[in-house]
Amino acid sequence: MKRQDWCFWANPVVGCRVRLAWLPAALGLLLAGCAGITGEDRDGGQLPACHIIYDAGSSATRLFVYQRTTSGWQGHRGPVTDALADPVRGIRGKTMQDAGAVVGDIVMALEDLRHDGPAGSTGEQEWPAFDWKKQCRIESAAVYATAGMRMAEQLRPQASSQLWHMLDQKLSAALQVDVTARTLTGYEEGLFAWLTKRQAEPDGNFGLAEMGGASMQVTFPCRDCEASRPVKVKGGTLPIYSQSLLGWGQDEAWKKYAHLPACQVGSGNFD
């Protein structure tokens, strides 16, 4: 399993997705600086490079494949599967006995992406087919987990390590490439959300409070903050401060108060 630190960089010409896909969008910005490596198809032509990114969030795991084009990187959205951390955290009906099935579904999402997805509850197709095996050459694969896995690693570090090892083995075997698999720090999670929003702003003079399922991040440029880190953005360098509040996401924050008498249904007591 490869574990590496990110050099934060953003390119002004790359488009972004809205929230729920901020992680692959921000990582897509980083890919904009990669060389356009290609492979040869069976007829001797050139296949564009592709990079696989899994956004392993606290509520679900989302697959994205980025394909090199003449104008940049085109993103292909794949199936949504169960949250990677659920078996470790023991939530949504999952235990470590379900770890193999959860990992298997995450890996199988790659094969499912090659075919059109089913119609969702609104009748809209869940994902359009992208046959990455025939249309590009896989240059890298990465799984990036966020706050849900940070909570899991605090709660059960050994079980978390076993889950990562299982995922790395199965995904590496399926793709025949080295897989980068790790949990993002709270700073990185906040920074990537800020980088995504930055693409739609006239300048970088803004702050962002972003709430996920298991954490909330507050991120803004700050030259006087000791905890700021230099980040290269649009050809310049900004000192960015980012603080993550673990357990204060929309799915977790309410649990801190649910036991209080004033929060009991029908109590009528808000003193």
Residue 95 domain flag? yes
Q: What does each of the 271 residues of the chain score in pLDDT, given as a tens digit?
A: 333 333 333 332 222 223 334 555 555 555 554 544 344 454 445 899 999 999 999 999 999 999 998 888 899 999 999 999 999 999 999 999 999 999 999 999 999 999 999 998 888 899 999 999 999 999 999 999 999 999 999 999 999 999 999 999 999 999 999 999 999 999 999 999 999 888 888 888 999 999 999 999 999 999 999 999 999 887 889 999 999 999 999 999 988 887 777 777 665 555 5
Q: Are 38 and 223 in contact (CB under 8 A)?
A: no
Query: Which segments within the chain are labelled E, that is strand?
Result: 9-10, 39-40, 46-47, 49-56, 61-69, 72-81, 137-145, 179-183, 208-211, 215-221, 229-233, 236-246
**pTM listed for this prediction:** 0.81
Residue 49 domain flag? yes
Q: What is the CATH number of the domain that holds 22?
A: 3.30.420
Q: What is the pLDDT of residue 22?
A: 58
Q: What is the pLDDT of residue 65?
A: 96
What is the rounded CA–CA span in Å between residue 112 and residue 131?
A: 9
Q: Which domain holds residue 48?
A: 9-183
Residue 155 domain flag? yes
Residue 219 domain flag? no
Q: What is the pLDDT of residue 136?
A: 93
3-state secondary structure of 66: strand
How many domains are contained in the chain? 1
Q: What is the pLDDT of residue 45?
A: 59
Q: What is the pLDDT of residue 8?
A: 35
What is the rounded CA–CA span in Å between residue 188 and residue 169?
A: 25
Of 216, 228, 252, give the one whose Cα is nearest residue 59. 252
First-to-last C-alpha distance (Å) of the chain: 52
What is the rounded CA–CA span in Å between residue 242 and residue 194?
A: 9
Q: What is the pLDDT of residue 14?
A: 28
Q: Are strands 61-69 and 179-183 parallel, antiparallel or unpaired?
A: unpaired
Residue 175 domain flag? yes
Residue 225 domain flag? no
Residue 103 domain flag? yes
